[in-house]
Amino acid sequence: MDFTLNDEQRMLEETAARLVRERYGFEQRRRHAAEPTGYGAGIWAMMAELGLTAVPFPEGDGGFAGGGVELLVLHQQFGRGLTLEPYLASVVLGGGLLSRLGADAQREAVLPQVIAGETILALAYAEPSGGYDPFWIETKAERAGDGWRLSGAKSVVLHGDGAGRLLVTARTGGGTGDGDGISVFLVDPTQAGVGVRGYATIDGLRAAEITLDGAAGELVGPEGAAADALEATLAAGCVALCAEAVGAMEQACELTLDYLKTRQQFGAPIGRNQVLQHRMVDMRIALEQARSMAILAACSLEADAAERERRISAAKALIGTSGRFVAEQAIQMHGGMGMTEEAAVSHFAKRLVMIDHWLGDSDYHTARFAELPEAA
Amino acid sequence: MDITYTAEEQAFRAEVRDFLRDGLPGDISDKVRGGRRLTRDDHLRWHAALNARGWLAVHWPTEHGGTGWGPVQRHIFDEECAAAGAPQIIPFGVNMVAPVIIKFGTEEQKRHYLPRILDGTDWWCQGYSEPGAGSDLASVKTRAVRDGDHYVVNGQKTWTTLGQHANMIFCLVRTDASVKPQEGISFLLIDMDTPGVTVRPIITLDGEHEVNEVFLDDVRVPVDNLVGEENKGWTCAKYLLTYERTGIAGVGMAKAALRHLKSVARRQERCGRALIDDPIFRRRLAEVEIDLMALEMTNLRVVAAVQGGGVPGAESSILKVRGTEIRQAITDLLRRAVGPYALPFQHEALESGFNEEPVGPDYAAPLAPQYFNRRKLSIYGGSNEIQKNIVAKMILGL
Ligand SMILES: Cc1cc2nc3c(=O)[nH]c(=O)nc-3n(C[C@H](O)[C@H](O)[C@H](O)COP(=O)(O)OP(=O)(O)OC[C@H]3O[C@@H](n4cnc5c(N)ncnc54)[C@H](O)[C@@H]3O)c2cc1C
């Protein structure tokens, strides 16, 4: 058993940490958020230049064949900086699904641009009445001549409004909640027949509602059999989010600890109050538990599906709950300061609470965990 | 023991309901129910409607234009107002400074200020907190130095709720720095139009402008604006806090929020069934409803004791802690109920003129911002930690 990083992973961590340290101070983040895209276009280009955007792709696709641990290492740093760039959307989710499912020609046509940071992908999988269930798909795809036409609606698509290409799940068979009959399509969002309504999210990211009205789509992978690849892709997404939560929890804990030591009331630092000390300890315990589950999830990404999915759900469930706990305590112990837009801690808190709303919340994943069969 | 309301109390409830049906403007209750922003004018219209009925000053004795109601009547009134979607009465004038003026003010102060509070001429805000004086309120540093008929005031107040709408602020100021902290504080009324008063907004994490910083630079305040004696302001401050803490359980508001939660859970569809039929969610709902029932009974026990002539003491701290926790739990469930639709930040959708199609269900937009906003409940009005310290000391003798 070895919980240490190998040399390459350590270098990756150092690269990402430096980027965040030097470019993602709180004021810098504010500036990135104000850019028209909602993130730092220059930083995004730099991430590509540093090779970060290539990390999870197989070598055949021009990547470094990074696995769960590499995702963990990167996204933990992203969480520390609350980065806004579309890494999760474009590289992990969109790129990940295309890489898993796409034919050679499709991967060659799109992935180099994704790795170069020139094309942003977004994965449009969730639907308005499906909550967090990725198989709840009412969007339909029908053959039209050589191609396919898609109709339906997709909800809260991460970075859906800045994406050059969308990966859209649609039903080519099966009933609404079935795993069978799910297909994936590459969709050009600029065509007539695609409606994109973009907006900011509470945690400072961009998302969009997407409507498809007879939009043309290019089938990616086998017809009706995309469920496994979709699940594997979302699992990677969950690892990324869990890691970001750990990074954000680390920062929320550090900021709060610092506040407890410096904020004076009744002639002494407020951290002298035992009730706050214990609360801080509980935050720290929650952080360590979350870190453990993020590691477990990251190390299970390449395991067989049954084992992977149980662990992913367990991690996402625990981190949803512990992230919220840390967020609420951090605000509370900052008193009025924790309520303000101008204090960094409130942004970490918002991200931590909102991570629970991306890719399935703790209730969803707890229920899923209970239902998934134990691996043999 | 009989825990039902008396016939008179029930008749009173019916009377309040009748009034609310006609007296509460529909556009205002729509905004409250939809979680939209209220304007200064909305608040003023609601105050005016209450004042016209003689029901604005629920705590005041009748001789000054108050209702003279007892605690049970006030409780029923609060509950019915919340149920009808009435905005909360802005407490700073009616429920905070007025009782202090009535108890400690001069005849002249009463004659001048009380009618202006009732008719909406003055909008008050509370200048207690300072950057260095939060939980430790007695450490206020804002200085007031006597200069002839005036005090010259210098310092900074913060977290001033709705100070952007106010023309008057009541402040705790230090008039003697050489004595024990509590003994050198005075209670001063300041006209915010006086030169040297600057109000700067503080934006909260939900993107709203609800609180402010107030800077006081060489502000000349007539000595007549001192309430009570110089250096005896702490007595006023504490007296005011007992008023701040009445109705603190917020049972009416929690009940209204719970009803909203149920209606959201009924309308919210998840994979072909209503969220309210989801066993996990149902259980969470049931748990918070049971907690609220217990709080309501606890609150009624305190209300009945006060009605019987008791004084609410540290019990109100119990109500504050539990009441805020329960309201926070309900807003947490409201946010979670809409699933991914908690994510969009639709700031414009909270404005009343907004008539674009909302993103997601029409009730979703305010829910996550409200969840974050309600974190304040356990921080202000004496944080929950401070309330627990009070219970530990006063009730447990620790
Ligand atoms: C939205 C909002 C509106 C407000 N409106 C007003 C207003 O209109 N007028 C006004 O004057 N003030 C207002 N306040 C200020 C409010 O009363 C203070 O925020 C509150 O008293 C806490 O003070 P603080 O923020 O300085 O926190 P601190 O006092 O610095 O407390 C920080 C943390 O330490 C804890 N703590 C402090 N001392 C102890 C102790 N002895 N034991 C255990 N824990 C302790 C606190 O509970 C808190 O968790 C408002 C605040 C908010 C957030």
Angle at A43 between CA A39 and CA A44, to 5 degrees: 75
- Which atom of ligand 1 lies closest to the CA of B157? 11
Among B80, B244, B296, B315, the one annotated catalytic: B244
CA distance B44 to B123: 9
Residue B312 confidence (pLDDT) above 80: no
Residue A333 has a pLDDT of 98
CA distance B89 to B58: 10
Q: Are A167 and A122 in contact (CB under 8 A)?
A: yes
The H or E element spanning position A236 is helix A227-262
Assigned token pair, A237: 């997404």
Residue B351 confidence (pLDDT) above 90: no
The torsion angles phi and psi of B177, rounded to 5 degrees, stand at -95, 0
Residue B2 CB-density burial (10 A; 0-12 exposed, 13-18 middle, 19+ buried): exposed
Q: Are A195 and A124 in contact (CB under 8 A)?
A: no
- Tokens 């009541």 found at: B170
A339 CA → ligand 1 middle, Å: 10
Segments in chain B forming alpha helices (H): 7-23, 26-34, 40-53, 71-83, 91, 98-104, 107-118, 233-244, 251-267, 279-307, 315-337, 367-373, 384-390
Angle at A144 between CA A142 and CA A147, to 5 degrees: 95
CA distance A355 to A82: 12
Chain A residues with beta carbon closer than 8 angstroms to that of B376: 336, 339
CA distance A34 to A27: 11
Q: Is A145 on the interface with B (CB under 8 A)?
A: no
Q: How far is CA B249 from CA A109, A332, B290, B292, in A?
A: 62, 19, 15, 10
Residues 166-205 of A with CB under 8 A from B: 176-177, 197, 199-203
Q: Is B202's CB within 8 Å of A340's CB? A: yes
Residue B248 has a pLDDT of 82
- Tokens 């550090």 found at: A254
Helix-helix angle A274-299:A227-262, to 10 degrees:
160
Average pLDDT score over residue span A77-106: 98
The H or E element spanning position B197 is strand B197-203
Assigned token pair, A125: 């999988």
CA distance A183 to A135: 11
Q: How far is CA A220 from CA A149, A228, A294, A323, B39, in A?
A: 14, 13, 30, 35, 52
How far does A376 lie from chain B, in Å, by closest CA?
Answer: 28
The H or E element spanning position A218 is strand A206-220
Q: Residue B382: how many CB atoms within 10 A of its CB? A: 20
Residues 1-60 of A with CB under 8 A from B: none
Q: Are B221 and B153 in contact (CB under 8 A)?
A: yes
Average pLDDT score over residue span A21-30: 96
pLDDT digits (tens, 9 = 90+) for B204-243: 999 999 999 999 999 999 999 999 999 999 999 988 877 6
| pLDDT-based confidence at residue A6 (cuts at 50, 70, 90) | very high
Which of A282, A257, A272 is closest to B389 using CA atoms?
A272
B200: helix, coil or strand?
Answer: strand
CA distance B161 to B288: 29
Residue B246 confidence (pLDDT) above 90: no
Of B134, B204, B371, Cβ closest to residue A341: B204
Q: Are A185 and A154 in contact (CB under 8 A)?
A: no
Q: Are B378 and B387 in contact (CB under 8 A)?
A: no
Q: Torsion over CA of A263, A267, A269 and A274, rounded to 10 degrees?
A: -130
Average pLDDT score over residue span B9-14: 97
Residue B245 has a pLDDT of 62
Q: Are B87 and B34 in contact (CB under 8 A)?
A: no
Share of chain A above pLDDT 70, in %: 99
pTM for the structure as a whole: 0.97
CA distance A53 to A196: 25
pLDDT digits (tens, 9 = 90+) for A320-344: 999 999 999 999 999 999 999 999 9
pLDDT digits (tens, 9 = 90+) for B186-202: 999 999 999 999 999 99
Q: Is B37 on the interface with A (CB under 8 A)?
A: no
pLDDT digits (tens, 9 = 90+) for A159-208: 999 999 999 999 999 999 999 999 999 999 999 999 999 999 999 999 99
Mean of pLDDT over chain A: 97
- Which atom of ligand 1 lies closest to the CA of B373? 1
Tell me if residue B244 is catalytic.
yes
Chain A residues with beta carbon closer than 8 angstroms to that of B135: 265-266, 270, 335
Residue A97 confidence (pLDDT) above 80: yes
Chain B residues with beta carbon closer than 8 angstroms to that of A201: 343-345
- Which atom of ligand 1 lies closest to the CA of B385? 47
ipTM of the complex in this document: 0.96
Share of chain B above pLDDT 70, in %: 99
Which of B109, B74, B115, B146 is closest to B299 using CA atoms?
B74
Average pLDDT score over residue span B150-157: 98
pLDDT digits (tens, 9 = 90+) for B48-107: 999 999 999 998 999 999 998 988 899 899 999 999 999 999 999 999 999 999 999 999
Residue A126 CB-density burial (10 A; 0-12 exposed, 13-18 middle, 19+ buried): buried
B382 CA → ligand 1 middle, Å: 6
Q: How far is CA A101 from the centre of its chain?
A: 20
Q: Is B341 on the interface with A (CB under 8 A)?
A: yes
Assigned token pair, B365: 């937009």
Residue B304 has a pLDDT of 85
Q: Are A93 and A123 in contact (CB under 8 A)?
A: yes
Residue B261 has a pLDDT of 97
Residue B315 has a pLDDT of 87
| pLDDT-based confidence at residue B320 (cuts at 50, 70, 90) | very high
Q: Is A331's CB within 8 Å of B375's CB? A: yes
How far does B344 lie from chain A, in Å, by closest CA?
Answer: 4
CA-based torsion, B384, B288, B78, B34: positive or negative = positive
User: Residue A193: which residues within 8 A CB-CB, separation 6 or more?
Assistant: A212, A213, A214, A215, A216
pLDDT digits (tens, 9 = 90+) for A133-156: 999 999 999 999 999 999 999 999
Q: Are B182 and B194 in contact (CB under 8 A)?
A: no
User: Residue B369: which residues within 8 A CB-CB, separation 6 or more?
Assistant: A202, B206, B207, B208, B345, B350
Residue A376 confidence (pLDDT) above 90: no
CA-based torsion, A212, A216, A221, A224: positive or negative = positive
Residue B297 confidence (pLDDT) above 90: yes
Q: Are B83 and B255 in contact (CB under 8 A)?
A: yes
Residue B354 has a pLDDT of 81
- Any atom of ligand 1 within 6 Å of the Cβ of B129: yes
Residue B2 confidence (pLDDT) above 90: no
Residue B244 confidence (pLDDT) above 80: no
User: Residue B283: which residues within 8 A CB-CB, separation 6 or more?
Assistant: none
pLDDT digits (tens, 9 = 90+) for B261-285: 999 999 999 999 999 999 999 999 9
Helix-helix angle A41-49:A7-23, to 10 degrees:
160
